[in-house]
Structure 1
Amino acid sequence: MATNFMFLRIKTKTTLVILFCFLSPIVSAISFTKIRLLKNATGPEALAFELTIPRFFTGIADGRILKYLGPTIGFQEFGFAAPNRSQSVCDGTETANPNPVCGRPLGMALHHRTNQLYVCDAFFGFGVLGPRGGLVTQLSIAADGEPYRFCNGVDVHQPTGNVYFTDASSIFDITQLDIAASVMDSTGRLLKYDAKTKQVTVLVRNLSFAAGVAVDEEENFVMVTEFTANRTRKISLQGGGSVIATIQPTPDNIKRTRLNKFWLAAARVVPRMYSSLLPTGVRINGNGTVLETINLERWYGNKSVSEVQEFGTKLYIVSRLVDFIGVLLKH
């Protein structure tokens, strides 16, 4: 079915917001279930799955990295990035109050062959956890002499082990997110960690609040979301520059499927009596064509979602504003 195009022009008290979004057939759900986090835990940001079974890692608002071991055992504490993290100070910290003492794990990706979990922590940069967990080993806190202010999204190319990650801003950190959005910050970077040389290089600069990143199967290109610019950019790794792949309001994390398609977590503003946020999951191909759109309002209300990831016949959905992982079984 052909994709429809809609132009939204919404006037608020302080600014004029212009949003472009693609509408495609809405996918209906057979069932939606919730995997609850540990007690007093909230704010899951991203997921990293094991290869063949639905066990995964996630980072939460109080700085802990949790591992889900299935419905019988549930979640267990697995790791953290802050070397001086205090349980009494940090446990139970909420999303609205990130604490540098506690750390804040955001994007993560598991390299299946080595069982290494790569992590972006908003305060402690880019690092890795081994299969036993514990304290994240810092791999890089700066590139080209410029410290990471907001290490954000991560993806690993499974055949080579190369890791691609984003630094959302070179000026603002996670406690200044609203300011970065209001000034339309465009100092984000895309970076690469070479698995052989252990070196980090800057691939692209001047991205508009670079959030999620996903590399294709052949390592020919990466998809990078630009949160404040309402777009996803396709960046060639073969020297071919970049193009705007798709325009979706406030795109956050992006994750590749096994069929080399991509799921975007996005949110658009709906012009009702009071403008409200509509959380959505959007599936696109490598050229940015919208293949599916899922309306998540029924389960998340007007809360934004940060990631939609496909595993088997299910979609796993996370939001930094809730205390659960959503699991959607779709047609």
Structure 2
Amino acid sequence: MATSIMRVHTLAAPLFSTFIFLLCFSSTVLSVSFSKIQLPPNATGPEALAFVSGTGQFCTGIADGRILKYQGPTTGFVDFGFAAPNRSKSVCDGTDTANPKPVCGRPLGLALHHATNRLYVCDAFFGFGVLGPKGGQVTILSTGADGEPFRFCNAVDVHQRTGDVYFTDSSAVYDIRQIETAISTNDSTGRLMKYDFKTEQVTVLFRNLSGAVGVAVDEEAKFVLVSEFIINRTIKIWLQGTKANKFEIINLQPMPDNIKRTASENFWLAAAMIKQGTQSLVPIGQRINASGTVLQTVNFERWYGNKSISEVQEFNGLLHVASRLVNFIGVYKH
């Protein structure tokens, strides 16, 4: 759930991260390359990415309610899916990020279960659902939990071994059109949910989250990481053991968004940091381990300016960057 970087933060941890990054960045800048995978005309706002294993193909949800599939540099993007049951191309195609339309839907988090080729989707207006390998209309699996409807279904991750899915509802009060109000009121009504692949039941795992916009489960399903955008922190929620149902704060980077697990069991966090000598924020990707230790920081200001990013995902040795405020997918190599 990226948004324009407008807020000023005075956090010690981000300042320290900035200092460390600048020391390392000067020696590597010459070897960095950045390219763009351009979206189709009038398409904008790629929020998240779901890669097809063994290929360079991926899906992304955009502002006008479509899920696009990138089939490679020759074919490019094709329409793959949508959640809105009465979506009209004439009304919806070309809708921009600033004016999401409920009638069109707004796909946010995506996660592919490789064994079944099921693409799980959080649509901000229509809830939690799934697409089969042929795409089409999303089958909605859940529109609420514990008698409470989803207002802002946002982030998704799937545990590959079990097929269980973890997803967030960012707020029980505000929807995607009311992000700024949720921030200004310090809304803390977000929830973390689990969809059980075998029973097809949705349960609430954790409540009182402040803008839960990112989620990632570890390989053993012992814990999930959740980013809380409104209060600028990332937490670890334990699922098993003596700490089950408890959490700990592991990162205080400003404006944390989607979290993606790497093959080496680290995590990429899309976030922001304070620009040296100013009070402005710039978009970064931060690779952390399960304890929140920062292993690497990449500054994307040269390509995104002060536009925030929503996801950094590692695939085939490259970082792929999504942002709701642009019309391309960034590809970073170093």
TM-score range, shorter chain: over 0.9
Structure 2 counterpart of 1:8: none
The one-letter code sitting in structure 2 at the alignment partner of 1:245 is: I
CA contact (8 A) 1:44 1:323 kept: yes
Q: Is the 8 A contact 2:8 2:280 kept in 1?
A: no
Report the Cα distance in structure 2 between the residues aligned to 1:209 and 1:44, rounded to whole angstroms.
19
**Aligned counterpart, 2:164:** 162
- What is residue 3 of structure 2 aligned with on the other side? none
1:118 aligns with 2:120: yes
Which residue pairs with 1:324 in the alignment?
A: 328
Whichever structure has more strand as a proportion of its residues is 1
- Number of the residue aligned with 1:286: 290
The size of the alignment, in residue pairs, is: 316
- Aligned residue in 2 for 1:98: 100
Among residues 247, 252, 263, which one is paired with 1:247 in the alignment?
A: 252
Letter aligned with residue 322 of structure 1: V
The aligned amino acid for 2:324 is: R
Residues 305-316 of structure 1: pairs in structure 2 closer than 5 A: 305-316=309-320
Amino acid in structure 1 at the alignment position of 2:139: T
Distance 2:316 2:295 in 1: 18
Is structure 2 residue 153 aligned with structure 1 residue 151? yes
Aligned-pair CA distance for 1:109: 0.1
Give the whole-Å Cα distance in 2 for the aligned partners of 1:272 and 1:292. Answer: 21
Bigger drift between 209-218 and 16-25 goes to 16-25
Q: What amino acid sits opposite 2:181 in the alignment?
A: I
State the alpha-carbon separation in 2 of the partners of residues 244 and 17 from structure 1. 18
Aligned to 1:209: 211
1:145 CA displacement: 0.3
| 1:220-259 alpha-carbon deviations (Å, 9 max, x no partner) | 1100000011110001111511101111101000000000
Aligned-residue offset at 1:37: 0.5
Corresponding residue to 1:76 among 75, 78, 83? 78
Superposition TM-score, scaled by structure 2 size: 0.92
Residues 147 and 289 of structure 1: CA distance in aligned 2, closer, same or farther (over 3 Å): same
Alignment RMSD, CA only? 1.5
Q: How far apart, CA to CA, are the structure 2 residues paired with 1:322 and 1:257? A: 24
Q: Do the aligned partners of 1:277 and 1:303 also contact (CA within 8 Å) in 2?
A: no
The Cα of 1:268 is off from its aligned counterpart by 2.6
Query: Offset of 1:60 from its aligned partner?
Result: 0.2
Partner Cα distance (1:209, 1:322) in 2 = 22
Partner of 1:65: 67
Aligned to 1:5: none
Report which stretch shifted further, 264-273 or 304-313: 264-273
CA distance in 2, matches of 1:225, 1:323: 24
Aligned to 2:308: 304
Aligned to 1:3: none
SS at match of 2:32: strand
Q: What's the secondary structure of 1:266's corresponding residue?
A: strand
Tell me if 1:18 matches 2:10: yes
Structure 2 runs not aligned, ≥5 long = 1-5
Question: Offset of 1:276 from its aligned partner?
Answer: 2.7
Q: What CA distance in whole angstroms lies between the structure 1 residues aligned with 2:90 and 2:274?
A: 39
Q: How does 1:4-43 map to 2 (within 5 A)?
A: 17-19=9-11, 20-21=13-14, 22-23=16-17, 24-25=20-21, 26=24, 28=28, 30-43=32-45
Corresponding position: 1:132 with 2:134: yes
Q: Which structure has greater helix proportion?
A: 2
In structure 1, stretches of 5+ residues that fail to align are 1-11
Deviations 1:251-290 (A, max 9, x none): 00000000000000001343656x4330000000000000
Q: Do residues 266 (structure 1) and 271 (structure 2) align?
A: yes
Q: Distance in 2 between matches of 1:242 and 1:50?
A: 32
Q: Percent identity?
A: 66
Partner Cα separation in structure 1 for residue 329 and residue 9 of structure 2? 30
Which residue matches 1:185? 187
Q: 3-state SS of the aligned residue for 1:251?
A: coil
Code of the residue aligned with 1:132 in structure 2: it is K
Structure 1 stretches of 4+ with a deviation exceeding 2 A read: 15-20, 24-30, 268-273
Q: Distance in 1 between matches of 2:277 and 2:322?
A: 25
Deviations 1:116-153 (A, max 9, x none): 00000000000000001000000000000000010000
| Residues 286-311 of structure 1 deviation map (CA, whole Å, 9 limit, x = unaligned) | 00000000010000011000000000
Does structure 2 retain, via aligned residues, the 8 Å contact 1:79–1:129?
A: yes
* Residue 31 of structure 1, CA deviation: 1.2
